[in-house]
Structure 1
Amino acid sequence: MPAKTNIGDDMNIWKELKKVFSFESNIDQEGFILEETPAEKKFEEKQKKSGESNEKIEGYEETKQELNQDKKDSKKPQSKLKNRKHIRKGLDKRGLEAKQGEQTEERLSGEGQEQEAKHQRIKKPLKVSESQGHHDPRKVSMILEYNKERIRDIYDLPTNKDLIIRELTIATEPPVQAFVVFMEGLSDKTIINRDILKPLMLLSNIQETVKAHLLIDYVQKSLLPGNQVTSHSTFKEITEGVNYGSTALFIEGCNQALVVETKGWEHRGVDKPQNEMVVRGPQEAFTEMLRVNTGLIRRYVRSSDLTTEMIKVGNTSNTDIAVMYMKNIANDKLVKEVKRRINSIKTDGIVDIGILEQFIEDSPWNVAPQVMATERPDRTAYMLLRGKIAILMDGNPYVLLVPTTLFDQLHSQEDYYLRPIYGSLLRLVRGFAFYVAFLTPGVYLAIVLFHREMIPTELLLSIMGARERVPFPSIIEVIVMEVSFELIREAGVRVPGVMGTTIGIVGALILGQAAVQANIVSPILVIIVAVTGLANFAIPSYSMQFSLRIMRFAYIILGYMLGFVGIAFGLFAQMHMMAHLKSFGVPYLAPMAPTTSTTGDVVLRKPVFSWEKRPDFLNTKSPQFQPKISRRWVLESSKREKKR
């Protein structure tokens, strides 16, 4: 006989399992549950009620259509008339329910609005609201206590411990009450004590009486020695200054507040470049301080035409973005386009200039970098003189230069500091490394698998002999080695200090040698992957290095599937995409495609005295960079020789 199962026990087990995996039973066990806000609950209830009322109205319309259909039919039996009366009763009943639902919804919404208004009234301090009446809460009041309460509400005091409110008495005749507001950690307390508190409390012993409406001007012009003191009448402008390290001064009887420049947070000093190192040239890089970076650029370009426009981005972060350009050189349409793209960004915050780059670039899904990022002030200054625009961001040591081309990504600033022959040689080596960085593994697979007749017999026998004991196909070999190389490179970057270099050496030598001895890969493939990695490191642009690494895997697949036909197809597709790509309206392959007049600074580097014009594709206001004969001493020497 089979054992009888107890249904009650099964139900109890099911209930226990349900408790274990249910959300409600774990509320006490978990430390934090993200619950719905009252506003979300109210919105959902409103949606449900509106849905029910819509269903009632739809039923009402359906019943009405049925009744009209019955009226059209004149030949109906008596039973149909009874049904018609029944339908009419249902129609009236449903219509009444729909109306009652609408009235209930209006009543509930009215009660909700009253409760919300009541909550808002209670939220403000009673004394302040009574004394102010209908005062605009966005503007500064003449009542000091009201301003203090507004600051406390805005910054959520006393919960927020970063904001400091310092009350004081201005030693005038009669004395006037005031208070200062500043953010601890962003403001320099020495400047606050020396340039604000001391003059107001100790050095303002004047005997003459100052009228209330003139007090703010008197304090600004006579008592505060700071170099940047501005007056504002709205709390938004005041809080923006306080959030950026300034100190706000509120005075009794004044409907304006003074914002004094007192920035003084800790920051990194000017250091050597980390990614764009040169042997010959300036050894300084940008820092995280925006004004320090603009000052570094102005050291190289000491001109009144160098313009800096400030734009704030981020509804919450209010990040300062600086757009720098030469007013007498840069194209006005290009300047407007850059500012338009930055101003159109709607987000809560931007914390890095790389995020800003993604917001303003033309084609986000194209692997080629469309904006140049540099950490060198000298390179930024040179690009500004050529007619480009620099975008700086507070808190970031990199500067974006727009527009950019493929050749800009392959050039180094050191090319201009060396003699023309040396600079041209470096550019040729860099151009060769550009193709080696993404073509070599794919070409190797194409030759080994499809075009073995291109290899000399001795070399082919050597390659086949080395691969004889390798149990994997060539494509698996290449992918394993490339992925291993990427892992070693990423580990070397992420591991701090000297350990990163150690990991790179250990990974490249020991692991490569061990893989060859274990017959996992062939020796020739280790050489190919190493040469490819070195060629990638020779590219000066970090973004272009990433682009070549991605393209390398694409050419590996094309070479494995179609041989040289696949490689040719990939090159054609790549050139097609780059020819259609633009950076702020400038073709990416300019001045080669489309062909425009060059300055002798594309592939090879001509002497500096032959750079007579600026790049034609930038359409600058002043096309001439220097006169046709910039070395005047040559003319003088030739004149002397003629006289002789």
Structure 2
Amino acid sequence: MEGYKKIIKKLLFFNEPKKMERFVLKETSSKENRTEDSAENNAEKDKQYRARRRKEPGGIRKIDRGTDESSKKEKEIQKEDENKRKDSEVSVYLSHNLTSMKRLYNIPMNGDVVIREFDIILKDRAVGAFIIFFDGMTDRKVINNNILQPLMMLSSLEIKKAEEDIAEYIKKQILPHNQMKEFTSYRKIMDEVNFGGCAIFVDGIAKAFTGDVKGWEHRGVERPNTELVIRGPQEGFTETIRTNTALIRKRLKDEDLICQNFEIGERSNTPCSMMYIKDIANESLVEEVAKRLKSLKVDYLSDSGELEQFIEDSSFLPAPQIIATERPDRVATALTEGRVAVIMHGSPFVLIMPITAEDMVKSPEDNYVRFPYGNLFRLIRYFGIALSLLLPGLYIAITNYHQEMIPTDLLFSIEAAREMVPFPSVIEILIMEIAFELIREAGIRIPGPIGPTLGIIGALILGQAAVAANIVSPVLIIIVAVTGIGSFAAPNFSLAFSFRILRFAFIIIGAMAGFLGITTGLFIYGMWLVSAKSFGVPFLVPFGPKTANAFTDSILRAPIWKQERRPDYLNPKDDRRQAPISRGWMDNGSKGEDEDEQ
């Protein structure tokens, strides 16, 4: 009964809720928000700080946090001590190694780190050991069957000498795992564990064994989503670096194919691989790419798109200076030409460098079909790119400044359609271009099959409603639709992005100065491209500057048997990719005919 009375009182009488304390994030010390102290106060604080600081075993300083907890100097000391712990050597005492690994991995706060302690049974004694790995990143069956089971159950040899014999015995006779390494530094051991490995520490041995036991969930090899072809390989890269390098090596069975490993990111330690063919790629190009990768000072990288922005020559050039592709066949072709590829763990896109403007317009399918078909595809592609870049600007320039270029009947129909439209043509086309970009972006972001449906229905409904409401003219709907279709003809999505940006610039300068403005814009953009370089290669070669041996596969390509040399602007070590007479059957046939005639 009392319970019901309390409920009725709560319903009938209003009690003002207690005010909750607001959470305030404490400010960290920085140059902007820290008050300037006098020199005397700073000196006094330094003395107090040094007095509070004491030494730990092993030379690691422990910070006794007092009132000045957010001091910048304390943070620097703490970071220095943490680096000392990571760079310190493995101890012969198992208890010290266990304590160090728990401190470095913040155990038990870190819940996904597994430490398994066990004994290695020898004939004369039991030797303590432990293994450490990340749950979810490793294959438990490999750890149990190839590491723990042999160490715990199969060790039965009498060791007569000292610790080195135990280490050699464990490495050569007990552990059957095929990828075992030895390290004496905690930092090297942690790098292996962080990348899906395990570390084994044994009592009395001043080093640790690491094994490659990766077993995380990953996506399988599927069709590439952004570079679909009708004829050609249907495999695409994944987010796993070793799968991607294997896909390339499966196509290039060359012992001179080099895969040089890097780690980028001071915190993420993201694995990257630079691939090139040693006896083809120019050494200065390889050294330049390696220098840019090694010189990066960044905490974390999550995708090759971020890496591309760090190593490209110019961040403000609209056109991309590096090709990002998810096709292994395209990477293999680029490597055989003398280029360099960079593969990043966690990204299905591989970076190819250096590139030129004509490389951005090529499609992998061009080489897989007969050269008349490939040239037709390229001409259509060039036409579509020109429409996507210049058609709206040309429409504005002609209708505003150069009406004499339009046939009279067509001019009357355009003006009749625009008679009820209240906006100038430039505002009209900007409205439709922005609406088209919104529909395209929304169609990409909406998951599942709704996206393409929304794009089609949205464009139809919006276009019909805009024409019925006399907001835009029907001719402008055609212009915007043709422009959008032409933008999809660009085989590289980064190049399509650059044209989408430049299209608005040409619309504005076309409205301001007509053909003169568009011509000036093309001239400025051309000069910008001429001055640009991609890893030392001019962006507009083989046209500016003109080079030899490159016109067999530039705007139009020659038959595949005529493409005898590699692009000379790459300065490869071996400039010939096939013999002068690559079709040997024709050479033999001609000899036979000559002999018959004689």
Which of 140, 145, 149 is residue 90 of structure 2 equivalent to?
Answer: 140
Q: 1:111, CA displacement in angstroms?
A: 1.9
Question: Take 1:252 and 1:118, find their aligned partners in 2: how far apart are those partners?
Answer: 26
Out of 485, 492, 499, which is 2:436 matched to?
Answer: 485
Query: 1: CA distance between counterparts of 2:133 and 2:252?
Result: 35
Matches within 5 A, 1:128-527: 138-173=88-123, 174-209=125-160, 211-527=162-478
Q: Decide whether the 8 Å contact of 2:445 with 2:451 is kept in 1.
A: yes
Which of 487, 495, 512 is 1:561 aligned to?
512
| Superposed displacement of residue 49, structure 1 | 2.0
Q: Is there any run of 5+ residues in structure 2 with no aligned partner, and where?
A: 1-18, 65-83
The alpha-carbon deviation at position 40 of structure 1 amounts to 6.3
Aligned-pair CA distance for 1:106: 3.7
User: Which residue identity lines up with residue 139 of structure 1 in the other structure?
Assistant: E
Instruction: Give the residue type in structure 1 aligned to 2:48.
Output: E
* Gap change, CA 1:137 and 1:427, over 3 Å in 2: closer
Q: How far does the alpha carbon of each residue in 1:232-279 deviate from its partner, in whole angstroms, 9 at most, with x for none? A: 001000000000011100000111000011111000000001010000
Counterpart CA distance in 2 for 1:405 and 1:189 is 47
Deviation string 1:392-419 (CA, Å, 9 cap, x unpaired) is 0001100000001111100000000000
Offset of 1:338 from its aligned partner? 0.3
Q: Which residue matches 2:569? A: 617
Cα distance change of structure 1 residues 558 and 136 upon mapping to structure 2, 3 Å threshold: closer
> Please, which of 32, 35, 46 is the counterpart of residue 26 of structure 2?
35
Question: Per the alignment, do residues 360 and 137 of structure 1 end up closer, same or farther by CA in structure 2, a change over 3 Å counting?
Answer: closer
Q: How far off its partner does 1:213 sit?
A: 2.6
Distance 2:168 2:137 in 1: 26
Q: Is the 8 A contact 2:87 2:187 kept in 1?
A: no
4+ residue runs over 4 A deviation: 118-124, 134-137
- Give, in angstroms, the shift of residue 511 of structure 1: 1.2
Determine the structure 2 residue equivalent to 1:6.
none
CA distance in 2 between counterparts of 1:137 and 1:468 reads 77
* Alignment deviations for residues 501-549 of structure 1 (CA, whole Å, 9 cap, x no partner): 1111111211111111111100000000000000000100000000000
State the partner residue of 2:76: none
Once residues 436 and 176 of structure 1 are traced to their aligned partners in structure 2, the CA distance between those partners, rounded to angstroms, is 75
TM-score scaled to structure 1, two decimals?
0.84
Change (3 A) 1:135 1:33: closer
What corresponds to 2:13 in structure 1? Answer: none
Deviations 1:185-210 (A, max 9, x none): 11111110001100000011224445
- Alignment partners' CA distance in 2, 1:356 and 1:438: 28
Task: Compute the RMSD of aligned alpha carbons.
Answer: 1.9
Partner of 1:636: 588
CA contact (8 A) 2:387 2:486 kept: yes
Query: Which structure has greater helix proportion?
Result: 1
How far apart are 1:580 and its partner, in Å? 0.6
Matching residue of 1:530: 481
How many angstroms apart in 2 are the aligned matches of 1:216 and 1:483?
68
**Aligned match of 1:114 in 1, 26, 51?**
51
SS in 1 for 2:481: helix
How many Å separate the matches in 1 of 2:554 and 2:30? 59
- Residues 599/629 of structure 1: CA separation in 2 closer, same or farther (3 Å cut): farther
2:540 maps to what in 1?
Answer: 589
Distance of 1:214 and 1:158 partners within structure 2: 34
Taking the aligned partners of 1:480 and 1:107, their CA distance within structure 2 comes to: 65
Distance 1:137 1:455 in 2: 75
Amino acid at match of 1:111: Q
**8 Å Cα contact 2:542-2:551 kept in structure 1:** no
TM-score for both structures, normalised by structure 2? 0.90
Partner amino acid, structure 2, of 1:49: S
Counterpart Cα distance in 1 of 2:333 and 2:44: 69
Cα distance in 2 for residues equivalent to 1:320 and 1:352: 11
Instruction: Tell me which residue corresponds to 2:528.
Output: 577
Percent sequence identity is 46
Q: Report deviation, 1:211.
A: 2.5
Query: C-alpha distance in 2, partners of 1:378/1:33?
Result: 54
Aligned partner of 1:84 in structure 2 is: none
Deviation larger for 507-516 or 306-315 = 507-516
Distance (whole Å) between structure 1 residues aligned to residue 53 and residue 357 of structure 2: 58
Q: Give the AA of the match of 2:374.
A: G
Do the aligned residues in 2 keep the contact of 1:599 with 1:613 (CA within 8 Å)?
no
Residues in 2 aligned to 1:504 and 1:436: alpha-carbon distance in whole angstroms: 21
Instruction: Go from structure 1 to structure 2 and tell me whether the alpha carbon gap of 1:502 and 1:246 turns closer, same or farther (over 3 Å shift).
Output: same
SS in 1 for 2:54: helix
Q: CA deviation at 1:116?
A: 2.8
Q: Which has the larger radius of gyration?
A: 1
Aligned to 2:38, which of 30, 34, 49? 49
C-alpha contact 1:326 1:385 (8 A) present in aligned 2 = yes
Query: Contact 1:409–1:541 at 8 Å: present in 2 too?
Result: yes
Asked whether the 8 Å contact 2:159–2:166 carries over to 1, the reply is no
SS of residue matched to 1:563: helix
Question: Structure 2 CA distance, aligned partners of 1:142 and 1:416?
Answer: 60
Inter-partner Cα distance in structure 1 for 2:55 and 2:30: 19
Return the offset for 1:144.
0.5
- Aligned counterparts, 1:544-559, within 5 A: 544-559=495-510
What is the SS of the residue equivalent to 2:122? Answer: coil
CA contact (8 A) 2:281 2:573 kept: yes
**Would the aligned equivalents of 2:262 and 2:273 in 1 still touch at CA under 8 Å?**
yes
The alpha-carbon deviation at position 137 of structure 1 amounts to 6.9
- Matched residue type, 1:146: H
Partner deviation per Cα, 1:542-592 (whole Å, 9 max, x = no partner) = 000000000100000011000000011011011110111100010111111
